[in-house]
Amino acid sequence: MNDVARHYGSQGLIDRILAAVPATRQASFQLSAHDLYAFDQLHGRELLATKDHAERLAPRQDQSILDIGSGIGGPARYLATTYGCHVEGIDLTPEFVEAATDLSALCRLADDVHFAQADATSLPFEGESFDGAVCFYVGMNLPRKAAVVAEAFRVLRRGGRIVWTEAVLPGHGEPVYPLPWARDRTTSFLVGQSVLEAMFREAGFAVESVVDESQAHVDLARQRAASGATPTREQQEANEIVLGPDHVDRRRNYIQNLSEGSLASQVIVACKP
């Protein structure tokens, strides 16, 4: 297991997740993807971001979508239940793949979403296998980012669109660690805003839009702080289960870096011509 997988992985993950979901405490329950949304969207702005980025992709019911760095399967389950599409997720962390598979089966989505442990620089799929792809806040952990972008291009069909979100360096100083994706620089592979966009063009993509959503992250954090809203016990417990007991501090550093301009949150939407 490499350093990135070690950063995220832990044993017994699914049992601890289910213990944190309120619905499981009922005498009789049927878990749904919706029950997990507060716990399984492991990227900035959580479900709000998933909704925004899914709308940019706008898959159809008959389409097949690739989720690169699928985590515990939250965005994949959202796409499948909201749009009716089929989703294949790949992730480097075996504990995440196991949890994503088991949670999806419990939600009766085993026919709609599949997960596999795989290296994104060598995807286990034939060329032109997918109608669309997403990669949500995974790029910061990718030392060979350009190779992953090239693989995404290879497996997409012509006309297929990818929505890629990533924290990037806007050129205003070095970020403060630890951060949600890395406790130090050894597992953090940040690039400049223009560098990331260039990777897509060099791979053959037509870049449709590049959006800086940094302020949306900062505004949401400020709104929550101003309202006095704090995570529920269940939400806090789930964050610690999946991302570690220091998640709150790492998240705080992330918002501080965005506010100070040492990080930016970028969304790239690109199409295979």
Determine contact, residues 128/156, Cβ cutoff 8 Å: yes
109/45: higher pLDDT? 109
Give the DSSP per-residue string, 186-236: GG----BHHHHHHHHHHHT-EEEEEEE-HHHHHHHHHHHHHHT----HHHH
Contacts of 203 (CB under 8 A, 6+ apart): 146, 149, 150, 152, 153
Q: For position 229, what pLDDT does the model report?
A: 53
Q: How far apart are the two ends of the chain, measured CA to CA in Å?
A: 36
Domain assignment present for 35: yes
Domain assignment present for 11: yes
Helix ranges (DSSP H) in 23-144: 33-40, 46-57, 74-83, 94-106
Cα–Cα distance measured from residue 15 to residue 268, given in angstroms and rounded to the nearest whole number: 35
Domain CATH number, residue 13: 3.40.50.150
Structure tokens at 1: 């297991």
Q: pLDDT tens across 98-111, in order?
A: 999 999 999 999 99
In the three-class reduction of DSSP (H, G, I as helix; E, B as strand; rest coil), residue 38 is classed as helix
Name the domain count of the chain: 1
Residue 36 structural domain: 3-167+187-213+265-271
Domain assignment present for 55: yes
Domain assignment present for 204: yes
Q: pLDDT tens across 27-37, in order?
A: 667 899 999 99
Q: Which long-range contacts (CB under 8 A, 24 or more apart) does 81-85 make?
A: 81/33, 81/34, 81/109, 81/112, 82/54, 83/54, 83/58, 83/59, 85/59, 85/60, 85/61, 85/131, 85/132
Q: How confident is the model at residue 258 (pLDDT cuts 50, 70, 90)?
A: very high
Domain assignment present for 259: no
Domain assignment present for 222: no
Domain assignment present for 250: no
Q: What is the pTM of this model?
A: 0.90
Domain assignment present for 157: yes
Structure tokens at 178: 């630890």
Q: pLDDT tens across 179-199, in order?
A: 999 999 999 999 999 999 999
